Structure formats: structure tokens, C-alpha cells
């Protein structure tokens, strides 16, 4: 994917990733911590994580195309390197979302609270979900920050152009 309506596709697709990764991270953690949330979300949880997972390689592929069409400098290369690291986090979110959904739908609420082994599994899933979700969100932030720096480092003036003396 290269251009959408004359704009680089990466510029548009990145917005999906920036929204979907944190949203999926919150949903996975909430579902892992509170089985009632997982039951209410149902199949939406793994579907959301799957859409998130699919958006990452689409966005990085479009980013690779864009990288070939802009002047390469250290900031662009850094952004591209960071972007390549998001896929494992998105995959982790998907695997955890599917596991939480699968285990929640297979057990009743009373089995989840009364069974010691179910409690241990739920606690492990919750801890793992928090770790993967935090990693994914921090990675998205780092990637976005590096992308903004690459795109805007020389693209604007700190003073407004043509603003007169500024007493408006």
C-alpha cells in the first residue's frame, strides 16, 4: 500500500495503530482482571485484538514505502527501527485476548472464583496482560514520538509566519 487519495498511506494508517493498540491493551487487561468484563465483551475482545494485529504490518509496510520516498536521515531510520518492534507486542495482545476469551467462555463465574487453579491461571493471565499491555502502549508512544520528530524536526517555525507584531 502506498497512497490513499494522494497521501502516503502510512500517514493515515498510523492513526488506527495509535488508537487500537492502547484500546486493545485496556480491554485485555480489564478482561483478564475482571472475568465479568470478558464475559460482556465476548468475542469482541479477540476480534478487536485481531484487527489491531492486522493493522500493525499494514502500517509498517506502508511506512517502509514512505521511507523509500523521503530523504533518509537518522530520525527516519530510528522511527523505522522502532516501528519494526511493535508486531510482537500486538501478537502478544492477540494471544492474551484469545486466551482470556477462551478460558472465560469455558468456565462459569462460580468456577472462576471457587477453583484455586482457575484463580492462579487468572492471576497469571492478569499479570502477563498488564506487562504486555504496558509494553505495547509504551512502544506505540516511543514509535509515535520518533515519527513526529522525523516528520516535523525541520518542518515548522517556532514563530508564526506573517503574524505581524503578535499584538492581535
Residue, of 39 and 159, whose pLDDT is higher: 39
Contact 53, 36 (CB under 8 A): no
pLDDT at 157: 67
Greatest Cα pair distance in the chain = 72
The per-residue pLDDT for 3 is: 87
Backbone angles phi, psi at 115, to 5 degrees: -95, 125
What would the pLDDT profile of 60-78 be if each residue is shown by its tens digit?
999 999 988 887 789 999 9
**131, 28 in Cβ contact below 8 A?**
no
Look at residue 6 and tell me whether its pLDDT is greater than 70.
Answer: yes
Q: Please give the grid coordinates belonging to residue 32.
A: 483478564
> Residue written as cell 484469545?
98
- The 10s digit of each residue's pLDDT in 142-165 is 999 999 998 888 766 667 776 555
What's the confidence (pLDDT) of residue 122? 83
* Alpha carbons 23 and 73: distance in angstroms, whole number: 32
pLDDT tens per residue, range 78-121: 999 999 999 999 999 999 999 999 988 877 665 555 567 767 88
Amino acid at each position: 500500500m502506498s497512497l490513499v487519495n494522494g497521501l502516503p498511506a502510512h500517514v493515515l494508517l498510523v492513526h488506527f495503530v495509535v488508537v487500537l493498540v492502547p484500546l486493545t491493551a485496556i480491554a485485555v487487561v480489564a478482561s483478564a482482571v475482571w472475568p465479568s468484563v470478558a464475559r460482556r465483551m465476548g468475542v469482541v475482545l479477540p476480534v478487536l485484538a485481531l484487527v489491531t494485529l492486522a493493522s500493525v504490518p499494514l502500517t509498517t509496510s506502508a511506512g517502509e514505502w514512505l521511507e523509500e520516498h523521503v530523504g533518509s536521515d537518522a530520525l527516519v531510520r530510528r522511527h523505522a527501527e522502532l516501528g519494526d518492534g511493535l508486531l510482537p507486542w500486538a501478537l502478544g495482545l492477540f494471544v492474551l485476548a484469545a486466551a482470556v476469551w477462551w478460558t472465560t467462555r469455558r468456565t462459569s463465574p462460580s468456577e472462576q472464583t471457587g477453583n484455586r487453579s482457575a484463580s492462579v491461571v487468572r492471576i497469571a493471565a492478569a499479570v502477563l496482560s498488564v506487562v504486555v499491555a504496558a509494553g505495547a502502549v509504551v512502544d506505540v508512544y516511543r514509535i509515535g514520538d520518533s515519527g513526529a520528530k522525523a516528520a516535523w524536526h525541520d518542518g515548522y517555525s517556532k514563530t508564526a509566519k506573517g503574524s505581524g507584531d503578535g499584538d492581535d
